[in-house]
A and B are shown apart, each in its own frame.
Chain A
Amino acid sequence: MVPTNYYLILSAILFGLGVLAFVFKRNIITIFMAIELMLNAVNLAFVAFSQALGKPDGEVFVLFVIVVAAAEAAVGLGIIILTARNRRSLNVERVDLLKL
C-alpha cells in the first residue's frame, strides 16, 4: 500500500512546480495553465485525505473544485481572447496598463 504521505508530497511538488511556472512563464495562456496545475495538485491532496480518513466528503469538494475550474477556464479564456485582441500580444509584461 502507498502511504498517504507520498501522495501529499507529490501534491506539494506539483503545487510548487505550478507556482514556479506561474512566476516564470511570460505567455498568458501558459500562466493560466499553471493555475490549473495548482488546482490539480490540491485535488490530489483532497482525494488522498478523503481516502485516508475513509470519508467521501473530500471527493465532493474535488467535484466542486473541478466545476469552479471549468467555469474559471471559460471566463479566463474569454479575458485572454479580449486581451490578445486589444494588445496584439500574449506577453503579460506587455500588458501593464489598465488603459489602452
Chain B
Amino acid sequence: MSGVLVIFFVLAALAVFGAVSLILQSHPIHSALSLILVMVSLAGLYLLMGAEFIAAVQIIVYGGAVMVLFVFVIMLLNAGVEERTNFSKLATFGGIPLALALGGIIAAAIARSSGNLPPPAASGAMTSTRELSKLLFSEFVYPFELTSFLILVAILGAIVLAQREN
C-alpha cells in the first residue's frame, strides 16, 4: 500500500469517527468538537487531492468562523445534556431504514457510474489559486457578486432575529 493511500485511510477513518461521535455524544459541545475533527480531516483530504486553497478556506471559514459561532451559541444558551424524548415514533421506526436506503442508493449510483474516472491529482498538478481566482472573477463573476449580497442579507437577518423586542 502506498503512503498516499495510508494517509487517505487515516484521514477518512478520523472523519468517519468524528461523524459517528457527533451522533453518539449527548452534550452539544462534544458534538461540536467532533464536527471540528471531521472538518479538519476533510481539509487534510483536500490537501491530499491537491486543492490547497479549498483546504485553507475549509479550516479558516468552517473550522474557524462557523464552528466558533456554534460553540458561542451553545455557551450563550447554556445548552446542557440532550434531553431524550420519544414523541415521534416515526423517526424511530422509519429513520434507520430510510437512512440506510438513502446510503445504499448513493453507493449504488457511485458504483455504477464512476468506474472510469481518473484518480484525483493523478497528474500531480495542484489547482493553483491563480487558476481558481481567474475562473471566479471571469466566468463566475455574477454568482460571486451575488454571494456578497447574500452575506449582507444574512447579516441583517441575523441582527433582526437576535435582537430583543422593544
Min CB–CB distance A1 → chain B (angstroms): 4
Give every chain B residue within 8 A of A13 (Cβ-Cβ).
16, 19, 103
Q: Select A30's contact among B2, B15, B82, B111, beta carbons within 8 Å.
A: B82
Identify which of residues 26-83 in chain B touch chain A, using a CB-to-CB cut-off of 8 Å.
28, 31-32, 35, 38-39, 42, 45-46, 48-51, 53-54, 57-58, 61-62, 65-66, 69-70, 73-74, 76-77, 79, 82-83
Give every chain A residue within 8 A of B58 (Cβ-Cβ).
43, 66
Min CB–CB distance A97 → chain B (angstroms): 13
Q: Is the CB of A77 within 8 A of B150?
A: no
Q: Is the CB of B48 within 8 A of A2?
A: yes
Q: Is the CB of A2 within 8 A of B8?
A: yes
Q: Count the B residues whose beta carbon is within 8 Å of the partner chain — how many?
A: 85
Give every chain A residue within 8 A of B20 (Cβ-Cβ).
17
Q: Is the CB of A60 within 8 A of B28?
A: no
Identify which of residues 51-85 in chain A touch chain B, using a CB-to-CB cut-off of 8 Å.
51-54, 56-57, 59-60, 62-64, 66-75, 77-82, 84
Q: Is the CB of B162 within 8 A of A82?
A: yes
Q: Is the CB of A51 within 8 A of B49?
A: yes
Q: Taking chain A's interface residues, is the majority helix, strand, or loop, or is none over half, making it mixed? A: helix
| B166 at the binding interface (Cβ < 8 Å) | no
Q: Is the CB of A91 within 8 A of B85?
A: yes
Q: Is the CB of A74 within 8 A of B16?
A: no
Min CB–CB distance A45 → chain B (angstroms): 9
Q: Is the CB of B157 within 8 A of A78?
A: yes
10 smallest CB-CB distances across A and B, nearest first, come from A51-B120, A78-B161, A71-B154, A16-B103, A23-B95, A17-B19, A78-B158, A1-B119, A12-B106, A4-B117
Binding site for B on A (CB under 8 A): 1-10, 12-21, 23-27, 29-30, 32-34, 36-37, 40, 43-44, 47-54, 56-57, 59-60, 62-64, 66-75, 77-82, 84, 89-91, 93-94, 96
